Structure 1
């Protein structure tokens, strides 16, 4: 209860955001800038997650960071914890209702993915994203994953390809190839396209 009393504004920001308000609209309501509201929203969700994690861990419930690794979205992770462990968490909240559970009612079931499952999902995600132009959300629905998890797996696939390409190309050029690539774009799939366009003769073994 003390935690929520100290963070009443942040608590309201989260409720308003998930009720459909934009960060700017919430900022207008509280006479704050939208960017500041977005920062407060993200910071509060992580603090709430840590609070839930510590409480559940102290009661012998598995490491909540495993939930976060699977769902990636911290909001969905919190909602999952509220759905699955709310008898415990309601004690922590002194009877206050869950914050995010009502906004996420169709959460993929949590599971620990094997290395083989990850590879299978990764292959399908890349194919459906690149060749069929599907959205992360659509792919996630088909695979029972969150859109955030699909996005992370997609980008990690290309990040790994970029790192392998850098190992090959870096010794063969007279400049910092790694800086060149990482300065070019934030997105690993975009970096990979540049590498393919400019150095395809050197990385044939990495091209699908």
Structure 2
């Protein structure tokens, strides 16, 4: 049985339609070198749109926006922090971040991450939900956390892979999805679209 061709080390096999360094790092961790082509799309939720439909629609739209600009398969992704069926976006300022963290404090919320991959079979997508339980946070902790600069550009006002790891009591589901990309499901989509994983060694 002939072996698959080995992709030259470092040669991109996928276009990532996102400037997120976390998604780049997650893909690198499974041996998928990427070129980066961020997609600028309108991220306003549609009237009556569910959080699940919202994140999957944006992931597909990001992939579609980059498809005409590269010959590589494209991966688009979007993540939303949801509590009480309300999407918490990135904070506008310190008070907004504090309001979100007070709302998440001592409760379980959902992190929805959708992935869309273009390739041999058109665009395939999925959405992964992870339940995240945050311990009770004091007002002082929340204020100090803002001063670190970490919450400013994070959905829900926190980063599970950063300093806010000490706030997380329990997760049920995919940790990598909360960081920005569900690696198990992403690998399944990549393989369906003919994109090799472990591309620099023995592509799977």
Normalising by the smaller structure, the TM-score range is under 0.3
TM-score (structure 1 length as normaliser):
0.27
Larger radius of gyration: 1
- Which structure has greater helix proportion? 1
Q: Which protein has greater RCO, CA pairs closer than 8 Å, 6+ apart?
A: 2
- Which structure has greater strand proportion? 2
